[in-house]
Structure formats: C-alpha cells, structure tokens
Chains A and B, each alone.
Chain A
Amino acid sequence: MSETYDFLFKFLVIGNAGTGKSCLLHQFIEKRFKDDSNHTIGVEFGSKIINVVNKYVKLQIWDTAGQERFRSVTRSYYRGAAGALLVYDITSRETYNALTNWLTDARMLASQNIVIILCGNKKDLDADREVTFLEASRFAQENELMFLETSALTGENVEEAFIQCARKILNKIESGELDPERMGSGIQYGDAALRQLRSPRRGQAESAQECGC
C-alpha cells in the first residue's frame, strides 16, 4: 500500500435507523450528500486518512445498520473500536431516547475506553427539531461524550466530528491513557514496515497457493 499514516483507528457509526449514519460517512469521505442511499444491512465500510495535530491518522469506519433487530448482528463489529459516532436525528425524539441503549452497547462491546462523540444529525431541518441543543448537550456531559450537531446534507460539522473524535484519541495516547499496543484498543501503528513485520511470513507462502476452488 502506498498510503502512509502514523495511526489507524477503528471507528464505529452507530444510532437508530434513518438518523443519517451512512450519509454522514458518505459526506465525510466523498464530501457530498448521498440522497439515494440504500439502508444499511449489516455493515458498510469507509476509510479516510486525516491530518490531526500533525499526525496522519487513517480512520477505518464501520457504518452499522440501525434497525433494532440488526443489533444481534452488528454487535460483532464493535470489537476493537477506538472511537464512535453516536448519531441521533434532531427531528426525532425517538432516536434520541434510544441513545442510552446504544451507549451501553458501545461501552460494553467495544471497550470501556472507547471515545464517543454524540452527533445530532439533520441540523439543517431546524424547523422540525424535536431535541434541543441544550438537552442533548447535557446528556453528552453526563455521559462523558463529546457533542456536535451535524448536517450530512450541508456537510456542516461532519468532518469536524470525525476529527474531534480522532484528536481526543490521540491525546489519550499521548497522555498514556490509551495504549495502542494493547490488544483490542482499536489502534494500530500505521508504519508500513512495522505492519509487514507483524504479519508472519508463512502468510505469504499460504497466499501463494490457489484457493482450492
């Protein structure tokens, strides 16, 4: 791979169905709004390298299905996530009310130390707002979350959300609060050489043979 980066973080995007998770991801990666997105079944992926405090960080983003029943499946994706965007829709109280459940899942299944940013999406639909900024802000504070209101449509605060989350993780690494070497931290060093060393040689021997298909 030609791309170089200092760190790789695994990110999750979680929250109820229809809150705009996939659109946030699309906006973040493609810098435009996707108005014809299919609903996510299972999980979708995206990755992007960003520059945060002079470090190149590759974000590996797992965009999960929001419908309640998919939780049994999406739970298997949480493992080893370093950060998460917890998304609700400011025009739907129902999606806001579900936040606690999502939070529990994330902390339990990913890691206690997972860095979460709360995103009140669809900021552009202010006229239909059902959840006030203040209210959500308080919730974020109580639960030690960062908080932003975003709009996947206009792109407002979208990149910001990812960057803030990544910045906090970097800070935690620097302060020693997070150890990238620890298994399941969701953080990897991005040094290409280091990665190759880590993958065993026998891997190459194996991959040389055809899949017996």
Chain B
Amino acid sequence: MHILTLVSNKHPTQRGDNSKCKMQNALGGEESSESDKGSEIGIPPPTTETDRFGFILGNGSTAGGVRTEGPSPELVRQREMKWINIISQWDQVVLKKSSKVKEQCHKGIPASLRAKCWPLLCGASDRMKCQKDLYQTLDSGSALQSWVEIIERDLDRQFPFHEMFLSRDGHGQRGLFRVLKAFTQLKPEEGYCQAQGPVAAVLLMNMPTEEAFWCLVQISEQYLPGYYSPLLEGVLFDAAILSWVLKKLCPAAYKHLQRHGVEPLMFATDWLMCLFTRHLPFNTLLRVWDLFFCYGVRVLFQVAVVLVRRALGRGEQREECEGQMETLEKLRGVKEQVPQDDDTFIAEVCSVTLSKKELNKQTEKELEKWRKERPASTFDPRGRCHGYRTVLARAREKEEINRKERAKGNLSIPRSSSTLSLSPSLLHKRRKRGSKSDTSEWDGGGRASSEVPGDAWGMQSKGLNLWRGSGVPPLPEDRAQVKPSQPSELREPWEGSHASGSVSCQRQGEEQGLTRQGQTRQGPEEHTHFTAQETSHSQHHKDTQEVLTHNQAPVRANRPSEPVVTETTSATETSRGETATHTDIEPHTDARAQDSTPTERHTDDGVQVHTSVEKDENMITNNNAAMETRLNTETYKVVNIDTETDTQHETGKDTETGTHEGTQDKSGSEKEAETETQGEHESAFHKGSEAGVEAKQ
C-alpha cells in the first residue's frame, strides 16, 4: 500500500518504468543524501535514487530537499476517495457543495490525482475537451524558429536534478519543449517567457503533456494574464498590489522594506512569475499550487506575505538586515525559513486575511493609477480568474457560444472552437470578468456597451479586454446575428431543465443557511460507489475516467429536449432566489429589479441575475439582454453562485478561513480516520486564523 502511494506520486506516464527510480520510502535512505554536497555535475550515478517527487538524492541540489514522508497512506487513500467522488460529480459538487472542493484543496490533493484535479480546477480539462485536436495540431505543426531556439536553449535549465529532466532526450525535457513550443503557436503575440519554463516543468511532473499544456494556457491566460506577455504588465501590476498587501498585513516588515529601498519587484518577481517553484520545498509547493488552482492569484499574495513574515516578521530579524542588500539576501534565501511540514505552512497561508473582495477593490484603485501612468496600456487585470468557480462560469459561457455556433450551422467544421477563436468578430467580444463586487467604478474607461458572453476561450486576443482597452465596444451585431439564425428548438435550453432548476433551488436553501449546509451533507453516501474499487492508483485514473463519463452523460442527455417554457420558469425562480439571497449583501440589486417594468420582468428575469452579477457595468438594451438571457441564463446562474458564495464567504470572515473553519468543524461528522490528523491541522488553522484576525484588528 505504501509503495503504491509512493509510486503514484510519480509522473503519471512514468508509472511503467519504476525500475529506473528506486523509491525511498524509508526516511533513512533520504537522510543519507544530506552528507553529499556541492556536486556541480548534473550527471547522476547510473542507479538513480530519488525522493518521492523524483528529485535525485545524493546531489547537492536542494531542488527537492524534501525530508518529510507526506501523509499516511490511509489518509491519502481516503482523500483520493473523496476526490474521486468530487471529480465524478464535478458539475454538481461545484454547484452544490463547493465548500467540499475548497476543503479538499486545503487538505491537499493526493499526488495521484493532481493530474486530474489541477486541469479540472483551472478549466484545462474543459478546454481540452472542447478543442480536442488543437494540441495535437499545434504539436505536430512548426513554430517560429526564433522561439524554438530560445526554448531549446532553456530546456536543460529546469530542475536539472529531477529525474525527468536529466537528459535532453528524456521525456521531461522533450515534454517541456512540446508544451512551450505549442504555447508560442497558440499565442504568437505572447511567445515564450522564461518564467513559464519552471511552471511547465512542475506541471509536467504531475501530468501528461497535453494536460500540462492546457494548464499552462489557463494559468497564463486566465489566472495570471499579463504575467508572461512581452511587457510583463501583470507582474508590474501585481508588484504594486503586493506592496499594498504587505503594507496592510505586515506593516513593520513593510516599513523596513521601505526604509531600505527594497521593492517587491526586487524579491518577488520570480516568486510570482514562477509560482514559487524555486522558493518552496517541493511538498509545500504542490500544496500551494492546490490552493492556487482553487483560488487564483490571491494565493500568491498570501504566500508572499507568509514568506515576508518568515524572513522579516520578527524585530531581531529586521535588525540583522541593516541594509538593502542584507534585506534582499534574507528574502532571497527565504526557503530556509520555510518549515518542512507543509501543513504548517499551508495553515499559515490560509490565515493571511486577504479576501477576493479586498483584492478586487485594490485592483480597481491600482488600475486607476496604472492608467494615469501608462495611458497607452490596455492592460486590465480585472478579468482574471480567481479560481475554479470563475473558471466554471466561463466554461459555461463557452459552451453556450459553441452551442450558438453549432446552431448557426457550423457543425460541419470539426474544430469549431478553434475556428471560433480566430473569428475577429468574436475577438471583439472579449470582455473582462472579475470583480463582482463594487463594479460601479468600472465604467471609468468609457465603456458603454453591453455585457457580452465573451468567448472566454477565444484565445487569440492580447488581453482579456481587447475591445475595452482600445475603446472599441463589441458590436451588437455580433450577437444580433446569432439570434435570428437560431431556431428555438436548437437553443438547447438545458439551463432550464428540471435538473438544474432543482439544483438552484437546493442551493438557494443552502445559501440561506450556510451553517446548515455541512450538517446536511452526507459523508457516508459519498463513498458508496467506490467501495469496491481497486487500491491500485493507476486503476484510479481509469476508474475516474469511467465514472466521469458515466455520470456526466445523463445530465447532458437531458438538455436538448427540455421545453422552452420550463426554461423561463425556472430561470425566473432562480433569479428571484438569487435576488433574495443577495439583498442583504448588495442592496442595489433589488432596486434594479424594481426598475424593470412588469412585462420586461418576466422575460428579463435572467437579466436581473445578470445585473446582480455584473451590475452597472453594462447599459444593456432590452433586446440584447433578453436574447442573452435566453441563451445564457445558466451562465449567469453560475456566475451568480460564484458571487454569492464568495460574498458569503467574505462577509463571513473576509477570507476563506471562515468558510474553511466551518467546513472543518462539520467534517467531524464525517466518518473518517482522517479526523485525528485533521484535528491537528484544524487547530493549527484556528490558531493561524485567529492570529490573522488579531493582526487585522
């Protein structure tokens, strides 16, 4: 069992040749590496021994440097079961039991399932599904020679002490080349940024090439737009945000930095751009990424805060650093300050009180400044993805777009989505999504256009907000064209199906009493389908796949046959429900609802949903709105859910800690041997969050 667990930590495609790497499941073996230092040669001895992540032991490199064993096999097994359960009912779980996903992300995704979960969380799975052959096409196609050369030159500079990346012909370096090359083909205007190398490498350590490629795309495009683009605007912007975060959350360290002229760009550029790949012990890094895929950029700031606190949090530490250089060196060497125990570190990260709402607010402020300083810049980070919920919302939008396209008669083109991505008219539809709170200022940029369910996957544009930045509003015709050509029976109003209707009703109930949610959650039933499963981890993947296809099929099958009438009704219900749950948090939603005339009201209920999400940012014409409503109610529902839970979550406690604690507590009722270990985790967590709250006060 133990061995199986360890094996499962390897790269999924690697499972076949375990003979190459003798796994160390005894600590004694790992410790022996400590005496060996300073080897500057990248060639390992013929019998390669690695730690559980694949880093060569006995080499001076501290790339892995992991001395911990990881969670017990039993615990891993249990978590795997939970994740398999989540994965198999992804759509429902995300809608209904999102806290479950978050909870499991906090606990850490089992190594064997990261290959499945990361792409799922960040939306890579969806894109892969929708653009099935695109990666293969790119992979077999040729890229710009200049990029090829640059990428090739960098290949052996990623994790040279990881067994996957040892040799030029090894599958690690080859995979890296393919992923990075394909990216430059997909986004020729962005090309290759060196910081993508380590990110892609860590992805490749955890999943096959195609998945890794799409994850990289999602990270570069949705999670961290502008981080790898030619001007690195995302990084410059986030450095400013980080400055604010530090000022707010570790004022003494911030003052110290200021006094010595240390700016975030000097120490945090690679923290952010490489997602800490070079600055955290590997076990901790993976846990941080679990959170990152769950919550997005916020996690990067939280981790940065923890690192700064660890380096400069104590008075004597700051006294030691008496100048700029000393301070910078301390920050650069922060890895030494990071505990080997990943649970401790993750608890610390989660205790950093930084909510999405605050972040969005600051983004607005910073953006104002940004635009003053750089009038020519079209950069707009507001549309970035804050984790899997945003991803899900966008995936829905994309599905709608695809459906529209198909309805238009594009069925004959097999790769409709990639064709779609090239369509200039759709390119215009690029729009920002992001802060669902406090959007009243958003029109500062002179936008006077309606909400367009953007082609979230239309990948060719430079920013999320091409048309905004360039002052070109999306053409209403873009959408108007769609409508007439769309026969109502082809509209596939699955959003109105009983199934999803009841989902929203249930959800509503849950939302009205968040605390009840956990109690009603049935732990035991989660496992029923899986009790008979093999213990082999490779089997899991297969099982997972099967379960997935099996479970998703019926839901989809329902959609097209649903009558339009039902759609309207349930949309109405939903939106009313939404509005109701919204009232205490966002009072102006109601005001808006009253603005609509009664006749509009019926058809435009979806618009209320819509407006409650996106608020003042659009001056929608009723025609457009009505049409969008019909086409996209589901989308907005989803967006809304996102908002709501996030708002709750923020109202509750300003960070996920509130929700998290709640769920943690509830998890007590679940039957799991995990409880004990989790208890410790919890208490660490509580302490952490309390500390956070105190600090805030």
Chain A interface residues toward B at CB < 8 A = 1, 17-18, 32-39, 41-45, 47, 60, 65, 67-70, 72-73, 76-77, 195, 199, 203-204, 206-213
Contacts and interface: CB of A to CB of B under 8 A. Distances in A.
A41 B194 contact: yes
B252 A47 contact: no
A109 B414 CA distance: 53
Nearest to A69: B230
Contact of A76 (B40, B153, B256, B265): B265
Contacts of A42: 265-266, 268-270, 273
Given A41-B270, A45-B329, A207-B319, A213 B313 contact: yes
Contacts of A37: 157
B41 interface: yes
B265 A36 contact: no
Contact of A69 (B160, B232, B332): B232
Contacts of B252: 206-207, 209-212
A73 B313 CA distance: 26
A45 B695 contact: no
Nearest to A46: B329
B65 interface: no
Interface in B105-163: 150, 153-154, 157-158, 160-161
Given A17-B194, A41-B273, A72-B231, A35 B42 contact: yes
B232 A36 contact: no
A142 to B, nearest CB: 28
A192 to B, nearest CB: 9
B338 interface: no
18 contacts: A17-B153, A17-B194, A18-B153, A18-B154, A33-B40, A35-B42, A36-B157, A39-B197, A42-B270, A47-B325, A69-B232, A72-B236, A195-B323, A199-B322, A207-B256, A210-B313, A212-B251, A213-B309
Nearest to B229: A69
**Most B CB atoms within 10 A — which of A18, A38, A47, A68?**
A38
Interface string B295-323: 00000000001000100111100110011
Nearest to B192: A67
B314 A210 contact: yes
B231 A69 contact: yes
Contacts of A212: 249-252, 695
Contact of A45 (B249, B263, B328): B328
B332 A36 contact: no
Contact of B40 (A36, A43, A47, A72): A36
Quick one: which of A17, A68, A203 has the most chain B CB within 10 A?
A203
B315 A43 contact: no
Identify the interface centre among A35, A42, A195, A210: most chain B CB within 10 Å of its CB.
Answer: A42
Interface in B233-271: 233, 235-236, 249-253, 255-256, 259, 263, 265-266, 268-270
Contacts of A76: 263, 265-266
Nearest to B265: A76
A35 B41 contact: yes
Contacts of A47: 325, 329
Which of A41, A70, A208, A213 has most B Cβ within 10 Å?
Answer: A213
Contact of A211 (B198, B230, B266, B313): B313
A207 B321 CA distance: 10
Contacts of B326: 1
A207 B312 CA distance: 10
Interface in B335-369: none
B509 to A, nearest CB: 39
Interface in B188-231: 193-195, 197-198, 229-231
Contact of A41 (B195, B319, B323, B325): B195
Nearest to B41: A35
B305 A213 contact: yes
A41 B274 contact: yes
Contacts of A65: 194, 269
B314 A211 contact: yes
B278 interface: yes
Contacts of A45: 325, 328-329, 332
A107 to B, nearest CB: 21
B61 interface: yes
A9 to B, nearest CB: 11
B40 A17 contact: no
Given A38-B158, A39-B197, A70-B232, 18 more contacts: A32-B40, A36-B40, A36-B160, A37-B157, A42-B266, A42-B268, A45-B329, A67-B150, A73-B236, A73-B265, A73-B269, A76-B265, A195-B323, A211-B250, A212-B249, A212-B250, A213-B250, A213-B309
A72 B313 CA distance: 30
Contacts of A34: 40
Nearest to A26: B40
A124 B157 CA distance: 20
Given A76-B263, A207-B256, A207-B315, A43 B194 contact: no
Contacts of A73: 232, 235-236, 265, 269
A211 B309 contact: yes
A60 B314 CA distance: 25
B253 A211 contact: yes
A208 B256 CA distance: 11
Contacts of B315: 207-210
A68 B235 CA distance: 15
Interface in B388-433: none
Nearest to B146: A94
Nearest to B259: A203
B194 A39 contact: yes
Nearest to A204: B319
Contacts of B329: 45, 47
Contacts of B197: 39
Residue in A18, A32, A37, A211 whose Cβ sees the most chain B Cβ within 10 Å: A211
B266 A77 contact: yes
A43 B232 contact: no
Nearest to A207: B318
A32 B60 CA distance: 14
Contacts of A32: 40
Interface in B515-567: none
Nearest to B323: A195
A20 to B, nearest CB: 12
A43 B253 CA distance: 21
Interface string B73-108: 000000000000000000000000000000000000
A43 B328 CA distance: 10
Nearest to A61: B325
Contacts of B233: 72
B198 to A, nearest CB: 7
B332 A211 contact: no
A106 to B, nearest CB: 18
A127 B619 CA distance: 67
Contacts of B263: 76
Contacts of B266: 42-43, 76-77
Find the residue from A33, A45, A204, A209 having the highest chain B CB count within 10 A: A45
Contact of B278 (A38, A203, A204): A38
B150 A38 contact: no
Nearest to B254: A211
A69 B193 contact: yes
A208 B252 CA distance: 9
